[in-house]
Amino acid sequence: MNAPSTPGPAADGGPAMDIYHQFRGLIVSGQLGAGERLPTVRQTAADLGVAAGTAAKAYKLLEHDGFVVTRTAAGTRVAESAAVLPGTIVRRIRDLAAEAEASGSGLDDVVNALRAVWRS
């Protein structure tokens, strides 16, 4: 994903850009997968202690840059083209990480096991 070619609202900075960068980071790092739903604008605003308009501006910037798609009935979801991994894979990775942590397994052991399974 490339940033907008013209300065526009993204150049203003402020809380909306902080929200934009937080969600963008989650998407490009694979922590949010394709098709995964973002919280509502109101929920994001409440969670972060900002005005709903500020959160809405961040969501509009994410949509403008192709990271999310907003549909009336479906809400705002990670765009298929922006995500590193499908949402189903990301959810299973989260489950694996939680289960591994609960069992006391180390990250290196889990990653090595995944690599071995991948290659087989």
Contact (Cβ atoms closer than 8 angstroms) between residue 20 and residue 67:
no
What tens digit of pLDDT does each residue of 79-90 get?
A: 998 988 888 888
Tokens of 118: 């991948």
What tens digit of pLDDT does each residue of 17-76 get?
A: 999 999 999 998 888 999 999 999 999 999 999 999 999 999 999 999 999 999 988 899
pLDDT of residue 44: 97
Other CB atoms within 10 Å distance of the CB of residue 72 = 5
- The pTM score is 0.69
DSSP 3-state assignment of 88? helix
pLDDT of residue 62: 97
pLDDT of residue 86: 84
pLDDT of residue 91: 86
Please work out, in degrees rounded to the nearest 5, the angle formed at the alpha carbon of residue 58 by the alpha carbons of 52 and 60.
Answer: 100
